[in-house]
Structure 1
Amino acid sequence: MSDPAADLKALLLKKSVRTGTFTLASGKQSDLYIDCRVTALDPFGANLIGKLGWAAVRKKISEENLKIDSIGGMTLGADPISLSVGMASAIEHPQEALQVFTVRKEPKGHGRGKQIEGNFADGQTVIVVDDVITTGGSTIKAIDVIEREGGKVAFALVLVDREEGGRQAIEERGVPVISLYSRSTLLG
């Protein structure tokens, strides 16, 4: 029997992790680039992310007796992760199934001008998702949008924490962070 955490780690290392010299979204230079979208958009990766993400989320919900309505984050990195976890929740525990939403980088320029699309409503308690956190900036931007639209963020689910201050910045906002991997555990 295979180990889903080891399988996802192997897939991330094969498809998503690159070393060299890179400029990150934060503008910082780094010797490491992690593009989780490649793994999250792989059907095997998505399945593993759903299983492991839902297990981590369900554990937190159970330990703290939380009522969570939906899951989502800043497009594009959060989208496949949120959907995978939402699908796993619907399959494994239909009574606790999480609805899924996405946060646009900017409000839509037409129609209703929404910045949050999908299954989100004012008053919901949600999980914010990100693929990789470095400074925490994109996760915090998603939190700001969710709160402005009337949502309450219970905690954040992150696929990889680069261990460069992002977790601390998010937690300083009062949002606990669960990460499936850190730089240490991924590259360890």
Structure 2
Amino acid sequence: MEKAALAQAIYETAHLNGTFTLRSGQTSNHYFDKYLFESNPHLLAEIAEKLLPLVPEGTEILAGLEMGGIPIATALSLKTGIPVVFVRKKAKEYGTCKLAEGIDIAGKRVCVIEDVVTTGGQILISTKDLLGYGAQISTVLSVIERDSKGRANLEEAGLAFFSLFTMDDLLQAEI
């Protein structure tokens, strides 16, 4: 599937109009319900295929952030053969008490995967937590860059940021 066709398919599948409060606290008239495209196996496979060339050389672990980054990271793991970890917003307080479920991230080159980035706030929190567990992180990949503030915040923190689509790309895909 060509990238423009994928943008249109994501738009048709997941775009909603209305008034929505975002995680960042911002309000928007446009919303992409990421779970609608993440739960579609065809779209998820196409997204992973398009993210594939963005995965940095030498990546040892893909880190899917709770909850939307997890299916994307898993699909990308299936395409690349790179192991995946599932990153909680907060380490669980029982059992293994892990923040990142899966293989050990200490000393490994980790690429963070997220679905939609607005301000990058949760990515910055999760990245700091992962660094505290010994991960080496330089890159974040996302499907949708909702706002350029997220890019600016991530780059200011020293992270390279790549997304498949900006919000404008998807809104222009409207039929």
Q: Give the TM bin, normalised by the shorter chain.
A: over 0.9
- 2:118 equivalent to 1:134: yes
Aligned twin of 1:54: 52
Alignment of 1:88-103 (within 5 A): 88-90=79-81, 98-103=82-87
Once the two structures are TM-superposed, the CA of residue 164 in structure 1 deviates from its matched residue by 4.1
For the 8 Å contact 2:77–2:84, the answer to whether it is kept is yes
The one of 150, 155, 172 equivalent to 1:171 is 155
Higher relative contact order (CA 8 A, sep 6+): 2
- Cα offset, 1:102, TM superposition: 1.0
Counterparts of 1:128 and 1:151, CA distance in 2: 11
CA distance in structure 1 between the partners assigned to 2:52 and 2:148 by the alignment = 25
Identical-pair percentage: 28
Match of 1:148 in 2: 132
Counterpart of 1:40 (choices 38, 41, 59) is 38
Deviations 1:67-122 (A, max 9, x none): 110111321110011011111113xxxxxxx1101111111121121111013420
Aligned counterpart for 2:67 among listed residues 70, 76, 80: 76
Normalization by structure 1: what TM-score? 0.86
User: 5+ unaligned residues in a row in structure 1: which ranges?
Assistant: 91-97
Q: For 2:68 and 2:139, how far apart are their aligned partners in 1?
A: 17
Amino acid at match of 1:40: E
Question: Unaligned regions of 5+ residues in structure 2, if any?
Answer: none
Instruction: Give the counterpart of 1:67 among 54, 58, 66.
Output: 58
Residue 68 of structure 1: SS of its match in structure 2? coil
Q: Kindly indicate whether residue 97 of structure 2 is the aligned counterpart of residue 106 of structure 1.
A: no
Q: TM-score, normalised by structure 2?
A: 0.92
1:30 CA displacement: 1.2
- Report how many residues are paired: 172
Q: Secondary structure at the match of 2:29?
A: strand
Number of the residue aligned with 2:15: 17
Q: Is the 8 A contact 2:138 2:159 kept in 1?
A: yes
Q: Over residues 125-178 of structure 1, what are the superposed CA-to-partner deviations in whole Å (9 max), with x where a residue is unaligned? A: 111011001111111122112111110112000100012401110111100100
RMSD: 1.4
**Residues of 1 paired with 2:36 and 2:107: CA distance?**
33
CA–CA distance in 2 between the matches of 1:17 and 1:139?
23
What residue is the counterpart of 2:143 in the other structure? Answer: 159
Letter in 1 for 2:149: G
Q: How many Å separate the matches in 2 of 1:102 and 1:69?
A: 14
